Amino acid sequence: MLKGVAVAIIAGICFLALRHGPAAPVTVVHGSTPYPLIVPPGFPSTKLFDHNPRTQEGFQLGRRLFYDGRLSKDGNLSCATCHQPFAAFSTYDHTFSHGFHDQFTTRNAPALFNLAWVTSFDWDGGINHLEVQPLSPLGAPNEMASSLPEALAQVQADTAYHRMFKAAFGTDSINSERLLKALAQFTGSLVSAGSKYDLYLQGKATFTSIEQSGYGIYQQKCASCHPEPLFTDGTYRNNGLSLNSELDIGRMRITGASEDSLKFKVPSLRNLLLTAPYMHDGRFVNLHQVLDHYTKGIVQGPTLDPLLKKGISLTPSQQEDLLIFLSDLTDYAFTRDPRFGDPRFGPPLN
């Protein structure tokens, strides 16, 4: 009992500290197995788990929750319905994703990987921490159409979860803070850094002259907004799409500032082969269309990024080389990683 109270207090302090500043002691519950995140070579450090120390048990709990349809109103829509592992956790081949009662989402579901290095979420950056991110799909009437209390009630009704919460957090108390922390332990663990490009940087693979040329073209023409190693700078920009501000005003929805009108988060270029269609509204079905946009489709406007005022010039052969390089950013091992799959199928949990 006392131990439970202590854990709850420490967890509460961590949660408050997360939102209000000062560093709190990092505590791993006695009996749980520390599972520190291995930062890939060349990646910056991450603070995501400073106040939510990753453990095997917390990660496995988060994984189970991520694949559990009972978190939604009709019991069918899990996080993984829209964030599918084989599509690098985006929605395969869908402009918008199907939510509750077959309503559609209003934006293209982003792929989920390397979130431990992301500091604001969604296409407009409306969410500022991975731990609170699930509140948005849980409550959205066109997504999971539920609420945190309803989702908690579902989870509390399953005795298997009591065991899992106890293993992860020391007591079997199932509360919103723990549910959100466990989900973040899973989503924050989706590290993708095993592409041919990564192996090349580590000296474990070689590039042909075409790949080398594509890499150079990327560095010259794309890296200012999509820089290595994450292939995004995490900023919000208008990349010249033809847009209707009444449909989606982008970043301005959050800041209210007219200079943010029609700006959207720069997405990563990793795993593009797995995440079509492209852009916040999924308007481009393949990468040829994306390059056509940058070379000859840029629409001028007051918030267009200055870097794109004249479009990007690429000869047909440069485009081919660039596309080969972009395909080298695909991490097939990531989508097949058994740690990230649905725990009800495949090998037993480790």
Residues that bind ligand HEC (CB under 6 A): 71, 77, 79, 81-83, 97, 99, 105, 107, 109-110, 112, 115, 118, 121-123, 133-134, 137-138, 143-144, 183, 187, 221-222, 224-226, 237, 239, 241, 264, 266-267, 269, 272, 275, 278-280, 290, 294, 305, 307-308, 312
CB of 78 to ligand HEC, least distance (A): 7
Residue number, 33 or 103, with CB nearest to ligand HEC: 103
How far apart CA 260 and CA 253 sit, in angstroms, is: 8
How far apart CA 295 and CA 14 sit, in angstroms, is: 48
CB of 117 to ligand HEC, least distance (A): 10
What is the amino acid identity at position 111?
A: A
CB of 17 to ligand HEC, least distance (A): 21
Distances (CA, A) of 132 to 65, 259, 317, 343: 15, 27, 45, 23
CA angle 67–72–75, rounded 5-degree value:
80
How far apart CA 49 and CA 136 sit, in angstroms, is: 21
CB of 1 to ligand HEC, least distance (A): 31
Residue number, 81 or 171, with CB nearest to ligand HEC: 81
Residue number, 24 or 179, with CB nearest to ligand HEC: 179
How far apart CA 280 and CA 164 sit, in angstroms, is: 36
CB of 100 to ligand HEC, least distance (A): 8
CB 185 within 8 A of CB 116: no
CB 116 within 8 A of CB 37: yes
CB of 71 to ligand HEC, least distance (A): 6
How far apart CA 283 and CA 21 sit, in angstroms, is: 40
Residue number, 51 or 237, with CB nearest to ligand HEC: 237
Residue number, 224 or 258, with CB nearest to ligand HEC: 224
Residue number, 27 or 100, with CB nearest to ligand HEC: 100
CB of 318 to ligand HEC, least distance (A): 9
What is the amino acid identity at position 99?
A: G
How far apart CA 6 and CA 40 sit, in angstroms, is: 34
Reading phi first (left if > 0) and then psi (alpha if -120 to 50, else beta), residue 271 is in: left
Residue number, 51 or 251, with CB nearest to ligand HEC: 251
Dihedral of alpha carbons 278, 279, 280, 285, sign: negative
